[in-house]
C-alpha cells in the first residue's frame, strides 16, 4: 500500500449537484448546462451533473433529464448523477450517465431524514440498482454519508463505516466515497479512517467528500492525502450542502483545493485561472456571495505592485 502524499490528485466537481441542491433560487437549465460545459474544459476528472431524485425533495434539480441531455460531454471527463433509488437509477441509465452515485447514511437517523428509509432498506435498494445496471457501461459508486459524524447521532464508529463499505462492495458497487456531510470531521480522524480504509480495501478507488462547515475542510484534505487518498469532491465557489441535515453548509471550494494542491506541488491537471474565472461568475448567477477564498484574494503567487512611495525611494 502506498503511503505519503501522492504526486497527483483527481478533482471531482460537484457544484451542479451538491452545490445547487440547497440554493434558495432555481438556476435555469441553460445556466446549469453552460456551467457544466465550461467546467468540462477546466481539466476536472469528474463532474457530478445532477441528482435523479424526487423534485419535491430537491426542487432545484427537477431538470435532471434536460441537463443530462443538453451538456456537451468530453471523453476524458466522467459524468456522474446521484441516485437515491431504483427509479432514479433507471432515469440516470436512460440518460447515459458514465457513473451512478448511490448514497446512504451510516447513521440511521440521517438516512431516515434524507432518504426516508432505514440504511438496511437503502442497501436492499442498491441490489436492485446493481441488477438494473448490469450489462450497461455505467460505473457504480457508493457514498457513505455522515461517515465522520451525524448531526443527529454524533460520531459514528469507524468499524461501522468500514463494514458498510464492505457491504457496498459485496452488493456489487465498484468504488466508495466517504462523505463528511456536515463538516464534523477533524484531520486526525480523517487520517485514521482513510488509513484504516486503505489497509482493508487497498485496491478500491476511494473519494473523500468534505464540507467546510467548521473550517476544517482543507486541513482534512491534507490529512487524507497524507494517508494516501487522491480523489476529492469539491464545489466551485464552496457552495452546497445537504437540505436534510440541520446547519449544513458548503463543500470545500474547488478553486481553493486546486490552489492548495498546486502550491504543495501536487498535480491536478486543472486550469486554475479558468476555474477562478468561473468561480467569480457565480455570485451573479446565484444572487449572493460565495464562501471560496482564493476567488477573492487571488492566488498566493499573484503579486501586487510595490507601493508608489517605496518605488520612489528605490
User: Any idea which residues carry the catalytic annotation?
Assistant: 242
Binding mask 16-45 for ligand COA (x = CB under 6 A): -----x------------------------
State which of positions 223-252 bind ligand COA (CB under 6 A). 242, 244
Number of residues counted as binding Zn ion (CB under 5 A): 1
In eight-state DSSP terms, residue 17 is I
Full DSSP string of 166-204: HHHHHHT--EEEEEETTS---HHHHHHHHHHHHHH-TTS
- As measured in angstroms, the least distance from the Cβ of 17 to ligand COA is 8
Work out what residue 11 binds among ligand COA, Zn ion, none; the CB cut-off runs from 5 to 8 Å by kind.
Answer: none
- In angstroms, the CA 189 to CA 158 distance is 9
- As measured in angstroms, the least distance from the Cβ of 164 to ligand COA is 15
Task: Give whichever of 19 and 228 is closer to Zn ion, judged by the CB atom.
Answer: 19
Residue 103 binds ligand COA (CB under 6 A): yes
- In angstroms, the CA 277 to CA 273 distance is 6
- In angstroms, the CA 288 to CA 291 distance is 10
- As measured in angstroms, the least distance from the Cβ of 298 to Zn ion is 27
Residue 195 binds ligand COA (CB under 6 A): no
Sign of torsion, CA 257 263 268 273?
positive
Residue 23 binds Zn ion (CB under 5 A): no
C-alpha cell at 44: 476536472
Chosen residue from 60, 78, 101, 114 binding ligand COA by CB under 6 A: 114
- As measured in angstroms, the least distance from the Cβ of 313 to ligand COA is 58
Residue 58 binds ligand COA (CB under 6 A): yes
Cα–Cα–Cα angle for 271, 191, 198, rounded to 5 degrees: 85
State which of positions 2-21 bind Zn ion (CB under 5 A). 18
Q: How many Å from the N-terminal Cα to the C-terminal Cα in the chain? A: 55
Residue 107 binds ligand COA (CB under 6 A): no
Residue 65 binds ligand COA (CB under 6 A): no
Work out what residue 84 binds among ligand COA, Zn ion, none; the CB cut-off runs from 5 to 8 Å by kind.
Answer: ligand COA
- Measure the CA dihedral 62/23/9/147, to 10°: -90
Sign of torsion, CA 294 296 302 308?
negative
- In angstroms, the CA 49 to CA 91 distance is 13
Q: Which residues of this chain interact with ligand COA, rule CB under 6 A?
A: 21, 51-54, 56-58, 84-85, 87-88, 103, 114-116, 145, 242, 244
Amino acid at each position: 500500500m502506498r503511503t505519503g502524499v501522492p504526486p497527483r490528485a483527481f478533482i471531482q466537481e460537484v457544484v451542479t449537484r451538491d452545490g445547487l441542491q440547497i440554493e434558495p433560487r432555481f438556476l435555469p437549465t441553460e445556466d446549469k448546462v453552460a456551467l457544466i460545459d465550461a467546467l468540462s474544459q477546466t481539466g476536472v476528472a469528474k463532474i457530478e451533473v445532477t441528482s435523479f431524485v424526487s423534485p419535491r425533495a430537491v426542487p432545484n434539480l427537477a431538470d435532471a433529464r434536460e441537463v443530462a441531455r443538453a451538456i456537451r460531454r468530453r471523453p476524458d471527463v466522467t459524468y456522474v448523477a446521484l441516485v437515491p433509488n431504483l427509479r432514479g437509477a433507471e432515469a440516470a441509465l436512460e440518460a447515459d450517465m458514465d457513473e451512478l452515485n448511490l448514497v446512504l447514511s451510516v447513521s440511521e437517523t440521517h438516512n431516515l431524514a434524507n432518504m426516508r428509509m432505514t440504511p438496511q432498506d437503502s442497501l436492499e435498494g442498491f441490489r436492485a440498482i446493481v441488477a438494473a445496471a448490469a450489462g450497461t457501461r455505467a460505473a457504480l459508486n457508493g457514498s457513505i454519508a455522515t461517515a465522520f459524524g451525524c448531526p443527529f447521532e454524533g460520531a459514528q464508529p469507524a468499524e461501522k463505516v468500514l463494514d458498510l463499505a464492505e457491504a457496498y462492495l459485496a452488493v456489487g458497487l465498484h468504488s466508495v466515497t466517504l462523505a463528511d456531510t456536515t463538516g464534523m470531521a477533524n484531520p486526525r480522524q480523517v487520517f485514521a479512517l482513510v488509513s484504516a480504509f486503505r489497509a482493508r480495501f487497498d485496491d478500491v478507488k476511494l473519494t473523500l467528500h468534505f464540507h467546510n462547515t467548521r473550517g476544517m475542510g482543507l486541513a482534512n484534505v491534507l490529512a487524507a492525502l497524507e494517508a494516501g487518498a487522491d480523489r476529492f469532491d469539491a464545489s466551485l465557489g464552496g457552495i452546497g450542502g445537504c437540505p436534510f441535515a440541520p446547519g449544513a453548509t458548503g463543500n470545500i471550494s474547488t478553486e481553493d483545493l486546486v490552489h492548495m494542491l498546486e502550491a504543495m506541488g501536487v498535480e491536478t491537471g486543472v486550469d486554475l485561472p479558468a476555474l477562478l474565472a468561473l468561480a467569480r461568475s457565480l455570485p451573479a448567477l446565484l444572487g449572493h456571495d460565495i464562501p471560496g477564498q482564493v476567488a477573492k484574494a487571488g492566488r498566493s503567487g499573484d503579486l501586487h505592485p510595490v507601493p508608489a512611495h517605496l518605488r520612489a525611494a528605490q
